[in-house]
Amino acid sequence: MPSTSENPQVSHVSVLGLGMMGAALAAALLRAGHSVTVWNRTAAKTGPLVVQGALPAATVADAVAASPLVIVCLTTNDDVREALAPADLSGTVLVNLTNGTPAQARDIAAYARKQGARYLDGGIMAVPQMIASPAAYVLYSGDEQAYETHQPVLAAFGGTKWVGTDPGRAALHDLALLTGMYGMLIGVTQALALVRSAGVTASDFAGPLHAWVSAMLDGVVPGIAEAVDSGQHLTDVSSLAVNQAAFPNLMATYGEQGVSTELFEPFQRLLDRSIAEGHSADGLSRLVELLAASGA
């Protein structure tokens, strides 16, 4: 842990942005015993953190000047660029935990380097209430030396996972994990809408739904990953032909029950395309190839 001359165990850290997530990050740093300077566009939000021991900064420039390690967590990366514009970043390690794209992360990394700062981009895999719990972790990429130096301080948020020196890599992993989450939520919301249309309460169906989705994730994800990496898509589990034949039953039932089909129409189209392109005997892993080829 980088130390101060007064106390070898304490690091000076500034946190820019005290929304739900930034406030949780600042509170975790305070609980870990660090000296924390806080700034927020709406200054009133510094109050609860100051009560917990944080030092308020009147401007971003003051907050950046107060600490060698600066953590920023705003709504978007455009907000980050705008907020940082008046600050002198030279000599700073900037850790950006704002959600954004890999390209945005690379742009901000280049800007920070030009200003004489070291840059780490991060993807927070937690909601604010999970920060500092064993379930929370943050993905980091960018300046490896900065990561090695400050990892003990960043560990105040939960686990730390290094994913590489490309500053955009953490955002890519973050967005891929969020993709899995949103895909799961698409299924959960559609399933609940369907049972609700037949008078079954969401609470009554939540147990079986959770058990089924969990079992499928446990069984399916490793198998798909192995097939994708080996390029061997032939299956003895569930062929694309079988899935394509069954999928219209889902669509028809949504229609009969008055539930929108809008979330599932694209998947039906992808299954149809997989058959049209001759992949009937392959498993669902083939769809990864079809999607990747479409985006190329």
Identify which of residues 30 and 227 has a Cβ nearer to ligand FVH in the complex.
30
Using CB under 6 A, which of 62, 79, 107, 289 touches ligand FVH? 79
Report, in Å, the least distance between residue 241 CB and ligand FVH.
39
Using CB under 6 A, which of 3, 9, 58, 82 touches ligand FVH? 82
Return the residues of window 24-43 that contact ligand FVH according to CB under 6 A. 40-42
Using CB under 6 A, which of 58, 127, 225, 252 touches ligand FVH? 127
Identify which of residues 184 and 234 has a Cβ nearer to ligand FVH in the complex.
184
For residues 270 and 293, give the distance between their C-alpha atoms in angstroms, rounded to a whole number.
12
List beta partners, residue 84. none
Contact (Cβ atoms closer than 8 angstroms) between residue 96 and residue 168: no
Using CB under 6 A, which of 72, 73, 84, 170 touches ligand FVH? 73
Using CB under 6 A, which of 96, 99, 235, 274 touches ligand FVH? 99
Helix, strand or coil for residue 208? helix
257: nearest Cα among 188, 182, 190: 190
DSSP string, 93-136: EEEE-S---HHHHHHHHHHHHHTT-EEEEEEEES-GGGTTSTT-
Instruction: Give yes or no for residue 19 binding ligand FVH (CB under 6 A).
Output: yes
For residues 195 and 260, give the distance between their C-alpha atoms in angstroms, rounded to a whole number.
13
Contact (Cβ atoms closer than 8 angstroms) between residue 10 and residue 3: yes
Instruction: Give yes or no for residue 75 binding ligand FVH (CB under 6 A).
Output: yes
Identify which of residues 22 and 168 has a Cβ nearer to ligand FVH in the complex.
22
84: nearest Cα among 101, 102, 106, 109: 109
Report, in Å, the least distance between residue 41 CB and ligand FVH.
3
Identify which of residues 73 and 108 has a Cβ nearer to ligand FVH in the complex.
73
Q: Give the count of residues interacting with ligand FVH (CB under 6 A).
A: 21
Return the residues of window 131-150 that contact ligand FVH according to CB under 6 A. none
Instruction: Give yes or no for residue 14 binding ligand FVH (CB under 6 A).
Output: no
Contact (Cβ atoms closer than 8 angstroms) between residue 87 and residue 98: no
For residues 259 and 262, give the distance between their C-alpha atoms in angstroms, rounded to a whole number.
9
Report, in Å, the least distance between residue 93 CB and ligand FVH.
19
DSSP state of 57: -
Interface stretch with ligand FVH, choices 11-19, 132-140, 157-165, 194-202 (CB under 6 A): 11-19
Interface stretch with ligand FVH, choices 122-130, 195-203, 208-216, 251-259 (CB under 6 A): 122-130
**Closest residue by beta carbon to ligand FVH:** 19
The torsion angles phi and psi of 138, rounded to 5 degrees, stand at -125, 135
39 class by beta-carbon count within 10 Å (0-12 exposed, 13-18 middle, 19+ buried): buried
Using CB under 6 A, which of 98, 235, 274, 285 touches ligand FVH? 98
The beta-strand segments (E) located in 100-259 are: 118-125, 137-142, 159-164
Instruction: Give yes or no for residue 277 binding ligand FVH (CB under 6 A).
Output: no
In the complex, the residues that contact ligand FVH under the rule CB under 6 A are 17-22, 40-42, 45, 73-75, 79, 82-83, 98-99, 124, 127-128
